[in-house]
Amino acid sequence: MKAFFAILRLTFRNALRSHIFQMLLGLLLLCVVVIPATVNDDGTAFSFIQVSLLYSLSAVLLLLALASIWLGCYMMSHDIDGYQLHLIVAKPVSRVTIWLGKYCGILLLDALLLCFSAAVIYGIILYKFNRSEFSEEERARIVNEVLVGRRVFMPLLPDYDRMAHDALTRKYREQQMKGESIDTSPEGQQRAYQELRHQIVSQQSELPFQQSVQWRYAGLPTDLDTPLYLRYRAYVGKIDSNGQRQTSGVWSVLMPRIVEAEKANVNESTDKTKFESFWVPMSQAPESFMCGSFTEKALLPEWKLVAPDGTLTMGFINFDPQQEQLYFQQEDGPKLLLRKTGFLGNYLRCVGVIFLELMILTGLACAAAGVMTMPTSIFVVLSYLLLGSIATFLLDAPGEALSDHFGRLVSSLLLLVVIPIQEFEVTHLVADGELIEFALIWKLVWSYLLLRALPLFLIGIWLFRKRELGLVIRK
């Protein structure tokens, strides 16, 4: 262990002396101080946090990621090319100890910089919030919507696959009755199925004038003691942020009521699993709200909206003043949000996810630089990360041509070994006040650190042990 800590200290000290790292450190200080203190916002709660938190943390993550890749490749290859490592391996120190010492030294520096940056950003956010001239209503909105960690409940989705198969069956039956030819090839059936499924999903997001739509939620706690918040965003006329205006509608809820059966004796308890439900409008007249931006509505716990089975059903009727169609996109929910932790707890989870990403990037850089030159190792690491991003994009790309199917197949195979780095982007959740679940953190640890990154680390260590340092010749 003495050799390990000696290599760790030496790596930490040499990293601080790197001119490229010093430049990145200066940019890091600029990001954590200048961005939240000087960039103007539009005065709303969301814009306030978006400027002070989202931009700053994203910039810090980018700079620390670049610094991790640079230092991992530089510290490993520099000692090999400069023959310093030849002197170390001549002593009774294993190459595994050398690799781990350098990896942990760089990771320690990343941790210190991340903690410093996160503390400064957190302090500036609270200072700016406490010194800002928001009204009491706006300050309460910031605390309820942003400076909090709220669990997200999304509505249950219909069985689009079954609906598409049923629609395709009806279409083929109608074509047979009309005597039309049917494309029975697998490619033709798959193309027809995908087209119908896309049409069904699009139709589900449309809400014509004076029509209603329902959303059902499950897994809600039945003993609520804090408000639920309904967060939604609608578009009027078209799904576009530009040209949106005020619209109106009526929200309603399916109110549960316990059915009390006749008791045989007074000691018999009421069966709370039996209940009936009836629709109750949440307002006497259509409520006005702005399209194209998120709106929140509080559902108080004393209203007892959650059924005994943990479900809640909401409904909405379109009463647009100009009788136009509304659109509710699937990713916008509407969501139900329930407070689970404060802002600090959620913020620390975000910092933990960022550190997890730095662990992976540093390990990949050290693994590549242990067997390659510095320029080659940087190119390999960046190409590996780029492949992960491209594979994710191609997997979700539309199209039913043979090349599109081949691209999705290749992307699926690539995602078994590459890491889509955008999966670690959680700063937008903190900015929206949405809880970063421990289940998400464990998924990142298991799927990307343990199943994908760790095997690459071990392969890099094994190749580093087998590398013949005598073949390294300075030119």
- What pLDDT digit, counting tens, does each position of 38-63 carry? 665 555 555 767 777 888 888 888 88
pLDDT higher for 322 or 134? 322
Per-residue pLDDT at 175: 78
Burial of 285 (0-12, 13-18, 19+ CB in 10 A): exposed
Q: Mean per-residue pLDDT for 207-230?
A: 90
Q: Mean per-residue pLDDT for 330-345?
A: 89
Per-residue pLDDT at 39: 60
Per-residue pLDDT at 314: 92
The mean pLDDT of the chain is: 82
**Is 65's pLDDT higher than 60?**
yes
C-alpha to C-alpha distance for 254 and 303, rounded to whole angstroms: 12
**Is 399's pLDDT higher than 70?**
no
Chain-centre distance for alpha carbon 68 = 22
Per-residue pLDDT at 198: 80
Q: Which stretch of 32-41, 115-124, 262-271, 358-367 has the lowest confidence by average pLDDT?
A: 262-271
List CB contacts of 156: < 8 A, sequence separation 6 or more.
215, 216, 217, 218
pLDDT confidence bin for 36, thresholds 50/70/90 = low
**Is 90's pLDDT higher than 70?**
no
Q: Mean per-residue pLDDT for 198-219?
A: 87
Per-residue pLDDT at 470: 56
pLDDT confidence bin for 401, thresholds 50/70/90 = low
Per-residue pLDDT at 18: 74
Per-residue pLDDT at 85: 64
Q: Mean per-residue pLDDT for 301-325?
A: 90
Per-residue pLDDT at 116: 87
Per-residue pLDDT at 45: 55
High-pLDDT (> 90) share of the chain, %: 27
Per-residue pLDDT at 46: 58
**Is 417's pLDDT higher than 70?**
yes
Chain-centre distance for alpha carbon 391 = 17
Q: Which range has the top average pLDDT, 37-51, 215-229, 388-402, 403-417? A: 215-229
**Is 88's pLDDT higher than 80?**
no
Q: Which range has the top average pLDDT, 6-10, 21-25, 328-332, 352-356? A: 352-356
Per-residue pLDDT at 288: 92
**Is 411's pLDDT higher than 80?**
no
C-alpha to C-alpha distance for 168 and 146, rounded to whole angstroms: 45
pLDDT higher for 208 or 181? 208
C-alpha to C-alpha distance for 374 and 268, rounded to whole angstroms: 77
Per-residue pLDDT at 318: 93
Cβ–Cβ under 8 Å, residues 356 and 114: no
For 17-29, how does the pLDDT look when each residue is reduced to its tens digit (9 = 90+)?
777 777 777 787 7
For 426-454, how does the pLDDT look when each residue is reduced to its tens digit (9 = 90+)?
888 888 888 999 999 999 999 999 999 99
Chain-centre distance for alpha carbon 174 = 44
Q: Mean per-residue pLDDT for 283-310?
A: 88
Q: Which stretch of 16-25, 102-111, 402-411 has the lowest confidence by average pLDDT?
A: 402-411
High-pLDDT (> 70) share of the chain, %: 85
**Is 269's pLDDT higher than 70?**
no
For 339-375, how does the pLDDT look when each residue is reduced to its tens digit (9 = 90+)?
998 899 999 999 999 999 999 999 999 999 888 888 8
**Is 123's pLDDT higher than 80?**
yes
- Count CA atoms within 13 Å of residue 157 on its CB side: 14
pLDDT confidence bin for 84, thresholds 50/70/90 = low
pLDDT confidence bin for 398, thresholds 50/70/90 = low
ω into 334 cis (within 30 of 0): yes
Q: Mean per-residue pLDDT for 178-182?
A: 75
